[in-house]
């Protein structure tokens, strides 16, 4: 397949989730929206923010931090996208203090007479831009625009909302080409030094805003957004990390939850290590399914091997050879072992991408690393012109503010055996990634999110049994953690990251019936 086609196919996964280095997690401060010492108090400053009026205007082209490209195309029927900025406190503990601007985008409901309200989307990451994400996926949500204004935003630290940017484009090219699975002490020192430079760059760029980019602040931003948009309840569609953000919102503001859907669900009980290990298993399962599909297709599959074990042995041998000697990629850039692993993971986000993975592996075996490097670039937010969005910088900033745990490279190294057992292909990659926040200049806040939401309206939780990035077990854990009468489980027996956009009619019908008509499916419903 052409490289440009691979980029377009991989774009959705890049927005839904960031690198496999860290599973997004967070936590609330405990309790609901009643006052305590850790929560913003009522003030004139907060009253001014909740009563602000948004000034909507035609959307400009995305900023470089959002990934660049043209302004969003008109919607079906010719309706235009509208953009605005919301003023929010930099520090929610001091709501009358300094403010930041949060970028919003909106597509107004087609049937204004039957309009339910706004439906707010978060497409994941953390670090994905909603300003580019919502127009990119708009056709898939057109049925929901019948009765909702579709709304999304760049969370704080992301895209056009005071973005965190850590290194120059040239420096990022070198950073992502590093060996993130060191084989000796010299490579460990190189990786540690690089992580330190990266973290220092983030601190230098973001300055005093860096401690305030976490998930709880983003959840409070969403409640401010709800009020300014004029909605009594927050109707919400969260995907991947967006499910965690939605869970934290539901915990903080259970009585403000309207109709909400969580798709591709983060396990709220998982800390850094448990989350990374779960992802290692999830990506390995997806790779097993890819290899089995190849076996089932017989001679139609061009990869060497007649069994899952033989095909995966070919892949591990290829990665080992790239560790010793990278191959030509795109222009002067070469494909390294780390980038190839990242590219393989990217292609496992959807069964639609398996054809790119098959071709990319074949090409790399023949000495051409362009396609796998292109897939890795998409994961890392690199455009064809060599510029990077800030998706990975924001991902690191949000994760490291949320997570209390700090693993050194030595501690990560001690756990490699467990990770290798979980995944011969991704184990090293995920295990070493435990140390991603080891050099971070801002302390973490929590171990995992509290998403308990007694008193909330039902939340439809959709799990995909073949999801590599947010394994299916996370959906069941979320249902349990939300509490009795809140979490409603819907299972999709399929492949890829997420379910609503998989093309499965059963899932789409159930989700649309809930969001549009308020019909809650029976918990435990299975779609095949």
Task: State the catalytic residues.
Answer: 240, 467, 497
Q: Are 25 and 445 in contact (CB under 8 A)?
A: no
Query: Residue 521: what are its φ and ψ, rounded to 5°?
Result: -70, 160
Q: In which residue are the tokens 């850039």 written?
A: 333
DSSP 8-state assignment for residue 264:
S
What value does the CA radius of gyration of the chain take, rounded to a whole number of Å? 22
Start-to-end C-alpha separation, the chain? 29
CB crowding 442-458: b at 16 or more within 10 Å, else e: bebbbbbbbbbbeebbb
CA distance 497 to 90: 33
Q: Are 495 and 286 in contact (CB under 8 A)?
A: yes
Q: Are 274 and 249 in contact (CB under 8 A)?
A: no
Q: Are 201 and 63 in contact (CB under 8 A)?
A: no
Residues 6+ apart with CB under 8 A from 237: 119, 120, 121, 122, 141, 144, 260, 261, 263, 515
The three-state secondary structure class of 493 is strand
Q: Are 100 and 414 in contact (CB under 8 A)?
A: no
What residues are paired with 403 via a beta bridge? Answer: 446
CB crowding 56-68: b at 16 or more within 10 Å, else e: eeebeebbbbbbb
């Amino acid at each position: 397949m052409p490289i440009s086609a691979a980029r377009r196919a991989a774009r959705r996964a890049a927005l839904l989730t960031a690198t496999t280095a860290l599973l997004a997690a967070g936590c609330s401060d405990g309790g609901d929206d009643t006052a305590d010492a850790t929560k913003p108090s009522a003030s004139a400053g907060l009253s001014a923010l909740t009563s602000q009026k948004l000034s909507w205007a035609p959307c400009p082209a995305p900023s470089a931090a959002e990934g660049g490209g043209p302004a969003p195309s008109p919607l079906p029927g010719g309706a235009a996208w509208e953009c605005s900025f919301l003023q929010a406190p930099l520090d929610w503990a001091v709501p009358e203090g300094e403010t930041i601007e949060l970028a919003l985008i909106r597509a107004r409901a087609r049937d204004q007479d039957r309009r339910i309200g706004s439906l707010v989307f978060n497409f994941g990451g953390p670090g994905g831009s909603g300003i580019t994400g919502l127009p990119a996926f708009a056709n898939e949500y057109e049925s929901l625009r019948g009765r909702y204004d579709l709304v999304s935003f760049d969370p704080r630290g992301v895209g056009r909302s005071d973005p965190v940017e850590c290194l120059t484009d040239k420096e990022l090219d070198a950073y992502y080409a590093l060996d993130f699975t060191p084989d000796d002490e010299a490579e460990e020192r190189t990786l540690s030094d690089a992580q330190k430079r990266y973290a220092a760059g983030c601190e230098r760029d973001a300055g005093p805003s860096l401690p305030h980019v976490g998930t709880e602040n983003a959840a409070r931003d969403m409640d401010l957004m709800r009020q300014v948009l004029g909605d009594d309840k927050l109707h919400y569609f969260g995907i991947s990390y967006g499910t965690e953000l939605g869970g934290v919102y539901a915990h903080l503001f259970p009585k403000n939850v309207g109709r909400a859907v969580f798709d591709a669900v983060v396990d709220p009980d998982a800390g850094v290590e448990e989350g990374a290990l779960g992802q290692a298993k999830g990506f390995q399962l997806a790779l097993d399914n890819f290899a089995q599909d190849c076996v089932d297709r017989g001679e139609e599959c061009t990869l060497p091997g007649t069994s899952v074990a033989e095909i995966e042995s070919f892949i591990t041998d290829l990665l080992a050879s790239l560790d010793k000697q990278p191959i030509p990629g795109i222009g002067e850039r070469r494909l390294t072992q780390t980038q190839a692993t990242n590219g393989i993971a990217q292609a496992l986000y959807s069964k639609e991408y398996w054809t790119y993975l098959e071709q990319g592996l074949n090409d790399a075996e023949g000495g051409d690393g362009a396609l796998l490097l292109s897939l890795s670039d998409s994961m890392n937010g690199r455009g064809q012109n060599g510029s990077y969005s800030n998706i990975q910088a924001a991902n690191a900033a949000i994760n490291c503010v949320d997570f209390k745990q700090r693993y050194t490279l030595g501690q990560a190294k001690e756990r490699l055996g467990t990770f290798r057992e979980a995944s011969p292909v991704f184990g090293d990659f995920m295990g070493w990634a435990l140390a991603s926040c080891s050099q971070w200049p801002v302390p973490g806040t929590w171990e995992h999110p509290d998403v308990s939401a007694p008193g909330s309206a039902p939340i439809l939780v959709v799990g995909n049994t073949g999801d590599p990035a947010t394994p299916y077990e996370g959906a069941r854990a979320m249902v349990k953690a939300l509490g009795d009468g809140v979490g409603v489980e819907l299972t999709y027996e399929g492949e890829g990251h997420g379910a609503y956009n998989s093309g499965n009619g059963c899932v789409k019908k159930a989700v649309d019936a809930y969001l549009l008509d308020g019909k809650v499916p029976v918990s435990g419903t299975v779609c095949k």
